[in-house]
Amino acid sequence: MFASLLIANRGEIACRVIRTARRMGLRTIAVYSDADAGALHVALADEAQAIGPAPARESYLDIDRIIAAARARGAASIHPGYGFLSENGDFAAACAAAGIVFVGPPAAAIRAMGDKAQAKALMEQAGVPVVPGYHGADQDEARFAAEARRLGFPVLVKASAGGGGRGMRVVAAADDLPAALTAARREAQSAFGDGRLILEQYLERPRHIEVQIFADRGGNTIHLHERDCSLQRRHQKVIEEAPAPGLAPERRQALGAVAVAAARAVSYVGAGTVEFVAAGDTFYFIEMNTRLQVEHPVTEMITGLDLVEWQLRIAAGEALPLTQEQVPCRGHAVEARLYAEDPARDFLPAAGRLTRLRFPVGGPALRIETGVREGDAVGVYYDPLLAKLVAWGEDRAAALAGLAAALAATRIAGIVTNRDFLLRLVRHGDFAAGAVDTGFIARHRAALVPAGGASAVALAAAALFVAAEGEAQAQARAGDPYSPWRRRDGWRLAGSERLEIGFRDAGGDHVVRLRHDGNALRLEIDGAAVTVRSMTQRPISLMHFLVTPAKAGVQGGGTSLALGSRFRGNDGAVNDSEGSGDVAFALGDEEIAAMVVRAGMELTVALPDETARLVERDPWAAAGQNEADASRLVAPMPGKVLSVHVAAGATVKRGQLLMVIEAMKMEHAITAPADGVVEAVNFAVGDLVDEGAMLVAFASS
């Protein structure tokens, strides 16, 4: 076994590899870009080496910089993680040329199977069914148009050299094909350094099933069962499970056999995943990922194996430790990917600082994998995956129940996430029944991304009241404790008067009228009456709330209303004193635990089933703000300007493309909201923009 390992990646996979390598007695070396100097994987590793600026092309995708870092630190081997250079044949070859062990398949296998076009050709020669499509070398737009007509619309445009939904577009009509090709090619080039594309017939309601394979240098190849990855958004997986539900034993056996044959066809070594789409009784090969997958923990949970350890041992020349017949399969496991993204805005990636991050305590049946900590900033340069929550159960129902409980107990503030969306997805009746396909999320969007309720608004108003009274009591201790001017409960000489608080969320404005009534708060929210009661006999102003300062060193923090409980921080330590940040309260007749965190004018309210971000409205704000917003187009998130399609003075039509922004490896089109005239374009190609920056001044006609 080699003595040292450099991890050429970041985030949760880098942290995972470091932990396994350390358990095996290996010295670990992290690499990091300028944006990741304070990242968790850097703190966990024995050593760390800077490799360049934040953009991935200048750091994590720069082969020369990675090899130089390995040489500088005396690394005997390199683990590529997943993403970035993990499926780059040139990188594997460069490692070999430098005398460094690459923890993965040989360069020839990566090139054969990492190139989707070549892989499909190989599978066709081997008699494996593939999705009808075009995988040729001719990349001319006219050729793609002719092939799309042959296949029939809709068609799927895909990056030949990548995965994870990057460089992928569904095209419904011929007129949409040129723009889709341009965008997919540009995105593929940015993400993988290779802009080649392929076409596939778009299957409307297939399942996405993949098989985990492993092979050693002696030619032994086995599979470690299959996973179902059908629940996807933007062609990226969000929920994965193993084994795949509802598969007949003969189909399960056939998928495993085909996957092993595919690996043997290219003399594969190491970990890989052979992916299929299943439509009816037929399954089609779509690609082979020549690396470990994000969803590998569900396979580990049902087999009890450490796949990273297997990778390291095989790279060191050891044989597979098990035969096919010895591979265990016990129970069921489900994984949810927790992303910084906004489901209500078509899963737009989000950026910001994690002012609060709490996960439930794990154990044999619950696993949390993350690469971020409370206080970390989530930027725009990399994939916005925050964590993976993986639950195991004796059967599928138990695993789903465990995952739902873990999601409900997760608390996050400071940034928009998909936690609520994942929770609704896991609890959805059709998913629980196993009735899934790749179109599931789109069909059930209304139920999975509903409008927010009044509970969060009620708790936010109560939190502001409690915080204000706590401040008043502190001031009273420094002066006259009986002065009525110290009170914040709406007291007047002529009697109690209601306070009025305004909030804004994604759904619009909310007005809360609040009255202090002994041990309860009486609220009227948008005309509806709500009561918030103490969980103790004390007055509402002392209602089981502990007003505590935000964690030291967390920028942008404010105050949180915290009730200590047993939670695990993302550094792995169980924390009883600071806890989850939850408070206990009664909303009407229902007892609820929730978290409230305030940072400036923004409040994050995390209920078991809902997370809301509310902004306290300034009553003196300019009345004309809404009108002003309608005349400008702002950046939906921090990013980089990829292209500008108009100039000042241009007359445009509703929906016309004005600008393209790249953020978190995805492209976001800025279009005209109506017919009108462009008054100014404020940024040029290559400029970095902040969230909310006015990109284009626009006047409707």
Q: Which of 338-342, 431-435, 564-568, 592-596 has the lowest mean pLDDT?
A: 564-568
pLDDT digits (tens, 9 = 90+) for 629-673: 445 588 876 788 989 999 999 999 988 889 988 876 667 788 888
What is the predicted pLDDT for the residue at 217? 96
**Catalytic residue numbers, as ranges:** 291
Identical fold, 207-448 and 625-700:
no
| For residue 485, pLDDT beyond 70 | no
What CA–CA distances, in Å, run from 592 to 412, 446, 460, 596, 607?
Answer: 17, 25, 14, 13, 8
Q: Secondary structure of 51-118 in the HEC alphabet?
A: CCCCCHHHCCCCHHHHHHHHHHHCCCEEECCCCCCCCCHHHHHHHHHCCCEECCCCHHHHHHHHCHHH
What share of the chain has pLDDT > 70, as a percent? Answer: 84
Q: How far apart are CA 229 and CA 238, in angstroms?
A: 8
Q: Which residue has the tokens 């990013």?
A: 639
Average the pLDDT over 99-125 and give the result: 88
- Residue 138's contacts (CB-CB under 8 Å, 6 or more residues apart) are none
pLDDT digits (tens, 9 = 90+) for 11-45: 999 999 999 999 999 999 999 999 999 999 999 99
DSSP states along 182-235: HHHHHHHHHHHS---EEEEEPPSS-EEEEEEEEE-TTS-EEEEEEEEEEEEETT
Radius of gyration of the chain (CA): 27
* Average of per-residue pLDDT values in the chain: 84
Quick one: CATH architecture of 132-201?
Answer: 2-Layer Sandwich (3.30)
Q: Is the pTM of this model over 0.85?
A: no
Instruction: Tell me which range, 197-206, 217-226, 670-679, is most confidently predicted by mean pLDDT.
Output: 217-226
Q: How far apart are CA 448 and CA 422, in angstroms?
A: 8
Length reported for the chain: 701
CATH number for the domain formed by residue range(s) 625-700: 2.40.50.100
Q: How far apart are CA 523 and CA 179, in angstroms?
A: 51
3-state secondary structure of 258: helix
Q: How far apart are CA 527 and CA 414, in angstroms?
A: 29
Assign a CATH topology to domain 4-103.
Rossmann fold (3.40.50)
Domain 455-616 is in which class?
Answer: alpha beta
Query: Domain map of the chain by residue range?
Result: 4-103, 132-201, 207-448, 455-616, 625-700
Average the pLDDT over 166-195 and give the result: 88
Q: How far apart are CA 163 and CA 501, in angstroms?
A: 47
DSSP states along 283-349: EEEEEEE-S--TTHHHHHHHH---HHHHHHHHHTTPPPSS-GGG----SEEEEEEEESEEGGGTTEE
Phi, psi angles (nearest 5°) of residue 551? -55, 135
Which of the following CATH numbers is that of domain 207-448: 3.30.470.20, 3.30.930.10, 3.40.50.11540, 1.20.1250.20? 3.30.470.20
Q: How far apart are CA 192 and CA 170, in angstroms?
A: 20
The residue type at 407:
L
What is the predicted pLDDT for the residue at 139? 94
H/E run at residue 145: helix 141-151
